Structure 1
Amino acid sequence: MNSVKIPRRRAIIDRRALAERIAALAADGGAQANRMGIVDAAKESMAAGRAELEKRLSEKPSAGHESAAGHAFLTDQVIRTLYDHVVTDLYPGGNRSTGERIALVAVGGYGRAEMAPHSDVDIAFVTPGKPTPWCEQVIEAMLYYLWDLGLKVGQSSRSIEDTVRMAKSDVTIRTAMLESRFLWGDQDVYDEGARRFWAEVVKGTEAQFVAEKLEERNARHKRMGDSRYVVEPNVKDGKGGLRDLHALYWIGKYMHRVQSAAQLVDAGLLTTREYRTFRRAESFLLAVRAHLHHITGRPEDRLTFDLQREVARRMNFAERTGKSAVERFMQYYFIQARHVGSLTGVFLAQLDDQAMAQRKARGLLAGFRQKARILSGYRVFGGKIAAPDKDDWFRQDPVRLLEIFQLAEEHGLEIHPDTMRTATRDQKCIDHDVRHDPRANALFLKLLTGRVQAETALRWMNEAGIFGRFVPDFGKVGAQMQFDMYHHYTVDEHTIRAIGLLAQIERGELKGDHPIASELIPQLDSRRALYVATLLHDIAKGRGGDHSVLGAEIALTLCPRFGLSDDETELVSWLVRQHLLMSATAFKRDLADPKTITDFVEQVQGLERLRQLTVLTIVDIRAVGPGVWNGWKRQLIGDLYELTEERLRLGHKRRHRSDIVAMKKDKVRGALGDKADVLDRLSDTFDDAYWIAEPEDIVALNLVHYAAATDMDHDLSIHAEYYPARGATLVTVIASDHPGLFFRIAGAIHLAGGNIIDARIHTTRSGRAVDNFLVQDPLGQPFSEDPQIERLEKSIRDALANRIELVPQLAARPLPRTRAASFDVRPRVFFDNKASGRFTVIEVSARDRPALLNRLARALFEANLMVTSAHITHYGERAVDTFYVTDLTGQKVTAADRLRAIEVALLDAASDQRQAETEAA
């Protein structure tokens, strides 16, 4: 794309020395006889050159352009040497005809002279007409040499006529030829092909090419997650990656015949400053890609968790207070990706303006100009808002840097690229005085709570650097990733997405996904408080402390500045401090335990707080990433809201336990329909704890199942079916209760390929166990196919009948090396004897892995504990398993020495070392 000066070229490869060595081998016994010696000579030169380039990259770890150009230079020299050898020693031609000519053409990335260490070698063998036998022999010999060198070659062999014809019909071939570079052979053939390409293929197809490349780009972004802030980005093909920069160059070259990225400035598509940003981002991304190839020894372009640490180390990123080296490296990566996005936006908008101007100039009404309307001093034309033609417009009044985005949001407009450029340039005009200007803060709050396109406008403002200037605390989390598998986006992107989701829910667009939130938002006393709390909930991440506590303190400062009242400020601060409370309670505590609701009510203390916290919790979880919000979480959050709302509304008049059980039985009777007689038969079989713990639809299923098992006198009865309310498979096991039943069932479910996400263990008054498990496959989907369900049931049956030995079978299962292995997750055990009136609550946090629940449950069994319920929550690489337990006498566990022994056993069960030893055994 640009000529890059490569220092000390002969240290990479001495082509003359290689050519002389090959010539000597060819002369000594013949080229065919010494073919492998020639291959070895070229291989040695390639290996030595790559080693030199890797050494240079280690010395200058961010020199991406130099590395990419160096690998292209090395490949050039080897191919040129081999071609000279082939036409001199293998197939010499004394008086070759005009048809016996070949141009070796580098295309694609190789044509740009940008190669990573393991890039494909894309090469076209172009002949003036149909290839002659001599041409075919030379091409075949060249390909065999390149293959023997271990290169992955993308090759084509075509005449000039065929090349032109195929480029006309195939945009991929057209793009490859667009980047063609004469490599070796016959220069005249290359020149003729290039002339015809520009005259016959490109001319008149400019608009079509741009449309196809943009459509191709959008499809690629969709495949890659459609965000430049995904935490495992693809450096080449991801949004904000190298391919986006290439697309700008392709379009510029096709439209304006530019020969380098620098000429995009001359074409008026980028400013000089933007071009420098272009080169800086490109060099960094090329360097990252080169490191990835060196580390893996293959063409790896995805910056996965297990590679991020090593790339950060190689690129000399160091740890800082509150941020690890890998987090600082990834933050810098995302800043570059953001720059790529900004460049793409202004580039395409500028291109669109140029095209519009050309269409007007050629039209019948070329002399007529539609009049722009004026909006608060700004020009609005063609769906875009633009500042007046004054270079110091924003400098005269920096509050206008907020005003332009607020107007764009309110009226659903785009911002003209020239105005966006000027705003980005003048962002530093936002200083202390502007931040504390009441008009500026009123505009910002109006934008934040806008009902049209707040998410889009905030993202524009963020990418222009204005968001972080106006709210410096937000600027600190700009492009900041969290090095875990749970969060899919950077902190700023997650926050902006959460605000967008909030606006969608408020507009009534997500009633199906979020019925409770859609119902609650209109009931709020202050929607402003909710939007500001959503903005601030993660604003203190990366500071080395509890981000909830630190964020609550920041809220006390920022909310008055934004213009919120004292009551709203106090509410926002509380929401930020407690924004994880509801999810932690819903997912890690037993909602059937009255103490759970009592403790939660004591924290919330009011209906307004409950409503605000519920909506904030929902958008926070949903904005984490695709697939994180599911039916199971919706149900748990909904249950907790309803139970808390009832307690707050009724207060001391709340229903007694017997009233709750009676209501539940009435609902179950309705759900049973014509099978309601089983309720009368079995009503007293289950104690009150069962009736309170299980939802009525599961109770109805259990009763029918239990009645059938009793009628058929089955000692063991297993039933599994898809349970859409939780997006999982409900597995119910009815058996004679005995110690160890729970961990055996858990192990059997794992052997069948299932992951348990929730479990409730009940014992009837007649001494039979009724255990309910919610199960998903490793991808978070339910078991819904008949063979899957049959496999689940058979595995449990075999395990409980002792037809299989669980421990050896579990140990024999190969443990896949998952991405979780890239993280250091130290197991932890917490005991809470205050969270429940009847049970000791044990919470185990450990690296997520198959059969973890089975090992923990076995450790509890061996510690002589009775498990009543288990709640399993996944946070990416980390799992948190919560157990409600008693000792064998039904009492809480309180003795310090006993608790310590249980902790040691659980830590041993959860440790990676224990797992490795089990597998080895």
Structure 2
Amino acid sequence: MSLPNIPKQRAIIDRRKLSAAISDIVADKGAMEGRQAIVEQLRTALESGRTELERRLLEKPGAGHESANGHAFLHDQLIRIVHDHVIDDVYPVGNRSMGERLALVAVGGYGRGEMSPHSDIDIAFVTPDKPTSWCEQVIEAILYYLWDLSLTVGHSSRSLNEVTRMAREDVTIRTALLEGRFLWGDQDVYDAASNRFWAEVVPGTEGRFIAEKLAERDARHRRMGDSRYVVEPNVKDGKGGLRDLQTLYWIGKYKYRVRSARELVDKGLFTQKEYRSFRRAEGFLLAVRAHLHTIANRGEDRLTFDLQREVARRMNYADRPGKSAVERFMQFYFLQAKHVGHLTGVFLSHIEEETQSRSRISEFLSSLKPSRMIDGYPVEGGKIAAPSDDWFAQDPVRLIEVFTLAEREGLEVHPSTIRIARRDAGLIDAKVRKDARANALFVELLSGRKDPETVLRWLNEAGVFGRFVPDFGKVNAQMQFDMYHHYTVDEHTIRAIGLLSEIERGELAEDHPLATEMVPLIKNRRVLYLSVLLHDIAKGRGGDHSVLGADVAKRVCPRLGLDEQETDLVAWLVRYHLLMSATAFKRDLSDPKTIIDFVSEVQNLERLRLLTVLTIVDIRAVGPGIWNSWKRQLITDLYENSVERLRLGHKAHGRDRKVSAKKETVTQMLGSQGHLVEDLDDRFDDAYWIAEPEDVIAINLPHYQAARAADHSLSIHAQYYEALGATLVTVIGDDHPGLFFRIAGAINLAGGNIIDARIHTNRVGKAVDNFLVLDPLGKPFREEQQLQRLKQSIEDALANKIDMVPRLAKRPLKRSRAENFRVAPVVLFDNDASNRFTVIEVNATDRPALLNRLTRAMFEKSLIINSAHITQYGERAVDTFYVTDLLGGKIVAQDRLDKVEQALLDAIAAGEPEPEDAQAA
């Protein structure tokens, strides 16, 4: 294998000139004394070559293959020059023995000639037998030169026998050698290694190699999120990325001995059109990766938000009405990833068919087995297929039918049939969309009982989904340019449907016990599945997607066969699909008014169940790590409180009864210390007993008693709170103004984020404040050292031992990606959400110490905070506070509200970056 012809090679690197310069240095100073000068010559040539290649890439920003081959060429020339210098000037030998021979082999991506600006350089040093001391010295000297150039070198040094033996044993080594390219040195040694590889390693191992590479691919996909449509994709290792294309090439080369991807056409694995699609996708992905490396000035393969905008600019994407340059670029990226997926399916299908056709035993067994047909569709090897090339043209409804049958019967759709479906998707027109049978088949598929997620994804990738439901087509490959959503809208929706199906099948009972228990009680399955399909259908249209989506539901549901009552229910669920999460995460669930308001909208138990399940799958499908124990508990608490209210109405358990029941439970939980409930009864009022869970009270009371007995003015406790997957921090001490903002700042300085806070002042003026805390990655602190750091930070802050304001200002962002977004700050007041408190909701860009700034501003405006509920949606912080004035009343005067609002906006602005550093979100 050799590199393609590189145009104007000397503009990249002039090997003859550089070699002459090194020879002059050696002649003047000698090889050892002149070493540093030689390194400088090499470094200058490397930087100059990179600069030239970057210039060419900017001139032709989509020329991925040219850029990749150019960087491989640049490094080839440098390594050849270094090799020749080392054997001629550093370790010269007059007559080398047969053992003093050395071949340099470029392996892996470097061997393939596909190098990005900061790719690793993988070299195999191959010797005829065990390396002689001269070989070892030469290899070491070459490596030191490369390391001095700050190159990342993956290297191995092996004899011919070792190369053969290790390749047999290790699929990674086998893959690297598969793409081995003679770089320099002894050609005969390289030829021997190559011949032995193909004669002694490959024969008979083709099937195992294919299986291992596909297993490796599947594991990599799982690591990367197992989706082509993650909004920050990995260009190299992500699903639909370069590594997937390389896997096809590896399999083709190993099994069919092809030397280039073009030869896959000759072997019948690709059509000419599919090969062009292969090259186009590969060239685009290589170009994107080259831009990424250049912008980041390192080996960066993840297309993060901050880099997406810059890559789009460098690749000459421009804004269009309704779609920004970065959104257009990313949509094209996902289109290429989709092509890669299609090519993978076609390629592997051909290999599988050929393997089966070559097996005489398989043919004999097949002849004995009667051909299976399902509704006119033949089934071959567990795959349902179209019986003829014009099958869908005869009746376009079959484009839905084939996928529905696949889901119903638990079959795959044959890749060749998906190929035909992609070609014929345009046959779906208004007439097909109105066809009652087509709509019934679609709803059956959507609410299938086996695996609707997988089959809907096939339907989507075949282009049929978006044609049959045009509103869904509008959100196809649509990214959500924020840090909260991990997937494109269509992928998020399909994942949510899959989660619902898994819950219904009882496969997620441990993660989602509430939903698992609830789904069998829901009377109308298809309403639930359609609400999941349509909940985000109106994203990207401007305006409230919930309101717009309800209008879409009212239009689409009758076409899909739903009656008026079902349509209204789906529309209501779409309209209010965010109501439950907003209430659970941003409101005080111990406040009776919260439950009353929520239930007044929900109205009945069936709607509550539907909304609860929809909420759970929606949150869970946002991305990894979004759903956690804390959110599960809040949703469960809201559901249970609402069920009680719906079933008993105004006869719901009264306040006194609830307090008594809690006291009995806590007494039992405390065991031998149960007497503390009665002993401290004069300290804690009913508001405390209503607000706190029994297990937290059972933690608080012994701590309070111990502090009281020891006459401690301040008592701080931190422990892992397993039930909610968070750390519980309790501060007990003399109450004084500004306690909250000081504690909030101290927790932030210790690396923690408050997600919930309940502030209590008991009857004798003691503060008993409970905070739930997570680290910046959403994990609890549980190590003793971490817990001690939290406690010490709070103690120092309350004792004024630290100057908090400058210390907080130096705290870095939890995630630097937040700098790429700007959330317009909004302060909302609600005097109807609670009978006792004014509720203040603050939306702002999540910044270091935001909570400290907000609570300090409220302290300075003489507000008393009773509870705080902290929620992050990626870069967006939504902090809700239940407050009163100093006399315990609501804040109602407009001028007072205006002053509080301005103070909070000023507090937000004090922590914001400069406008040019962030993008409006």
**Per the shorter chain, which TM-score range?**
over 0.9
TM-score by length of 2: 0.93
Partner residue in 2 for 1:384: 383
Following the alignment from structure 2 to structure 1, what is the Cα–Cα distance between the partners of residues 784 and 154? Answer: 45
Alignment of 1:477-626 (within 5 A): 477-626=475-624
Higher mean Cα deviation, 1-10 or 640-649? 1-10
Tell me if the contact between 2:808 and 2:848 (Cα under 8 Å) persists in the aligned partners.
no
Partner secondary structure for residue 479 of structure 1: coil
Instruction: State the 1:814 CA deviation.
Output: 5.7
- CA shift, 1:553, in A, is 1.5
Deviation at 1:373, TM superposition (A): 1.0
Q: What is the CA–CA distance in structure 2 between the aligned matches of 1:152 and 1:608, rounded to whole Å? A: 61
Q: What is the CA-CA distance between 1:330 and the residue it aligns to?
A: 2.5
1:440 is matched with 438
Decide which of 392, 405, 408 is 1:407's aligned counterpart: 405
Q: Which residue in 2 is equivalent to 1:314? A: 314
Q: Does the 8 A contact of 1:372 with 1:379 survive in 2?
A: yes
Q: Which digits, 9 at most, give the CA deviation of each residue in 1:800-821, with x for residues without a partner?
A: 3445454455456566663322
What root-mean-square deviation, in Å, do the aligned CA atoms of Structure 1 and Structure 2 show? 2.8
In structure 2, relative to structure 1, the CA distance for the partners of 1:15 and 1:654 (3 Å cut) is: same
> Which segment is superposed worse, 108-117 or 695-704?
695-704
The alpha-carbon deviation at position 455 of structure 1 amounts to 1.0
Distance 1:632 1:77 in 2: 58
Question: Do the aligned partners of residues 398 and 89 (structure 1) sit closer, same or farther apart at CA in structure 2, a change above 3 Å counting?
Answer: same
Match of 1:898 among 896, 899, 903: 896
- Once the 2 structures are TM-superposed, how far is the Cα of residue 63 of structure 1 from its aligned partner? 1.4
Deviation at 1:301, TM superposition (A): 1.5
SS state at 2:612 partner? helix
Question: Higher mean Cα deviation, 365-374 or 255-264?
Answer: 365-374
**Residues 1:824 and 1:82: Cα distance change in structure 2 (over 3 Å):** same
Cα distance change on mapping 1:802 and 1:370 into 2, 3 Å: same
Q: Is the 8 A contact 1:309 1:326 kept in 2?
A: yes
1:864 deviates by 0.8
Q: Give 1:616 deviation, angstroms.
A: 0.5
Q: Cα gap change, 1:888/1:24 in structure 2, threshold over 3 Å: closer, same or farther?
A: same
Calculate percent identity across the aligned residue pairs: 69
Deviation at 1:615, TM superposition (A): 0.9
For 1:348, the aligned partner's letter is: L
Query: Which stretch shifts more, 899-908 or 26-35?
Result: 26-35
Using the alignment, how far apart are the partners of 1:701 and 1:872 within structure 2? 22
Contact 2:229 2:488 in 1 (8 A): yes
Amino acid at match of 1:723: Y
Residue identity in the other structure for 1:875: Y
Paired position in structure 2 for 1:153: 153
Asked if the contact 1:909/1:915 (under 8 Å) is kept, the reply is no
What do the CA deviations read for 1:510-569 (whole angstroms, capped 9, x no partner)?
223222222222222311111011011112222232221221121112111111111111
Call closer, same or farther: CA 1:732–1:26 in 2, change over 3 Å.
closer
AA of the residue aligned to 1:254:
Y
CA distance in 2, matches of 1:579, 1:740: 37
Q: CA–CA distance in 2 between the matches of 1:640 and 1:603?
A: 14
- Secondary structure at the aligned position of 1:831 is classed as strand
Conservation of the 8 A alpha-carbon contact between 1:583 and 1:617: yes
Cα distance in 2 for partners of 1:468, 1:331 equals: 15
Equivalent residues of 2:581, 2:635 under 8 A apart: yes
Count residues in correspondence: 914
Residue 203 of structure 1 corresponds to which residue in structure 2? 203
Contact 1:886 1:892 in 2 (8 A): yes
Please give the alpha-carbon distance, in whole angstroms, between the structure 2 residues aligned to 1:765 and 1:910: 34
CA distance in 2 between partners of 1:805 and 1:570 (Å): 58
> Partners of 1:736 and 1:87 in 2: how far apart?
79
- The aligned counterpart of 2:762 is 764
CA contact (8 A) 2:847 2:912 kept: no
CA distance in structure 2 between the aligned counterparts of 1:806 and 1:367, rounded to whole angstroms: 77
Shift of the 42–896 alpha-carbon distance from structure 1 to 2, 3 Å rule, reads same
The letter for the 1-side match of 2:290 is A
Tell me whether 1:374 sits opposite 2:373 in the alignment: yes
Q: Which one is further off, 539-548 or 257-266? A: 539-548
Equivalent of 2:886 in 872, 883, 888:
888
Secondary structure (helix, strand or coil) at the match of 2:608 reads helix
Deviations 1:620-677 (A, max 9, x none): 1111122211121112112212222333333344454444444444544554555444
Secondary structure in structure 2 of the residue aligned to 1:426: helix
User: Using the alignment, how far apart are the partners of 2:526 and 2:324 within structure 1?
Assistant: 35
Contact 2:357–2:363 (Cα < 8 Å) also in 1: no
Quote the Cα distance in structure 2 between the aligned partners of 1:705 and 1:228: 51
Are 1:832 and 2:830 counterparts?
yes
Aligned to 1:113: 113
Report the 3-state secondary structure (helix = DSSP H, G, I; strand = E; otherwise coil) of the residue aligned with 1:483.
coil
CA contact (8 A) 1:755 1:850 kept: no
Show the 5 A alignment for 1:853-872. 853-872=851-870
Shift, 1:883, TM fit: 0.7
| Residue matched to 1:919 | none
> Amino acid of the residue matched to residue 361 of structure 1?
R
Change in CA separation of 1:902 and 1:832 when aligned onto 2, cut-off 3 Å: same
Offset at residue 591 of structure 1 (A) = 1.7
Partners of 1:322 and 1:545 within 8 A in 2: no
**Larger deviation: 447-456 or 301-310?**
301-310
Deviations 1:595-620 (A, max 9, x none): 22232223223332222111100111
Taking a change above 3 Å as real, the CA distance of residues 770 and 480 of structure 1, as seen in their structure-2 partners, is same
User: Could you tell me whether the CA contact under 8 Å between 1:323 and 1:544 is conserved in 2?
Assistant: no
Does the C-alpha gap of structure 1 residues 632 and 155 become closer, same or farther in structure 2, counting only changes over 3 Å? closer
Describe the shift of the 1:517–1:53 C-alpha distance in structure 2 as closer, same or farther (beyond 3 A): same
Q: Distance in 2 between matches of 1:707 and 1:174?
A: 68
Larger deviation: 115-124 or 311-320? Answer: 311-320
Distance 1:843 1:691 in 2: 25
Asked whether the equivalents of residues 811 and 848 of structure 2 are also in contact (C-alpha less than 8 Å), the reply is: no
Cα pair distance change 1:249/1:709, threshold 3 Å = same
Q: 2:523 and 2:366 mapped to 1: Cα distance?
A: 55
Provide the C-alpha distance between the structure 1 equivalents of 2:322 and 2:38, rounded to a whole number of angstroms. 55
User: d(CA) in 1 for partners of 2:512 and 2:362?
Assistant: 51
Summarize the Cα distance change of 1:177–1:781 in structure 2 as closer, same or farther, 3 Å threshold.
Answer: same
> Is the 1:486–1:877 Cα contact (8 Å) retained in structure 2?
yes
Following superposition of structure 1 onto structure 2, how do residues 149-548 of structure 1 map, counting pairs within 5 Å? 149-358=149-358, 360-361=359-360, 365=364, 368=367, 370-388=369-387, 390-548=388-546
State the partner residue of 2:686: 688
**Structure 1 residue 486: Cα displacement:** 1.5
Is residue 791 of structure 2 the alignment partner of residue 793 of structure 1?
A: yes
**Residues 321 and 543 of structure 1 are in contact (CA less than 8 Å); yes or no, is this contact kept in structure 2?**
no
Q: Secondary structure at the match of 1:721?
A: strand
For 1:556 and 1:757, the matched residues in 2 are separated by: 37
Counterpart secondary structure, 2:299: coil
Could you list the per-position Cα deviations for residues 375-398 of structure 1 after superposition, in whole angstroms to 9, with x for gaps in the alignment? 11112233222222x111122112
Structure 1: unaligned runs, 5 residues or longer: 917-921
Counterpart position of 1:636: 634
One-letter amino acid matched to 2:502: Q
2:151 partner SS: coil
Distance 2:145 2:711 in 1: 76
How far apart are the structure 2 equivalents of 1:858 and 1:842?
Answer: 14
Question: Residues 363 and 809 (structure 1 numbering): CA distance in 2 closer, same or farther, change over 3 Å?
Answer: closer
Specify whether residues 128 and 730 from structure 1 end up closer, same or farther in structure 2 by C-alpha distance, changes over 3 A only.
closer
- 1:631/1:38 Cα in 2 relative to 1: closer, same or farther (>3 Å)? closer
CA contact (8 A) 1:592 1:693 kept: yes
* SS of the residue 1:443 aligns to: helix
* SS of residue paired to 1:560: helix
Q: Which amino acid aligns with 2:647?
A: R
Task: Say whether residues 1:844 and 2:842 are aligned partners.
Answer: yes
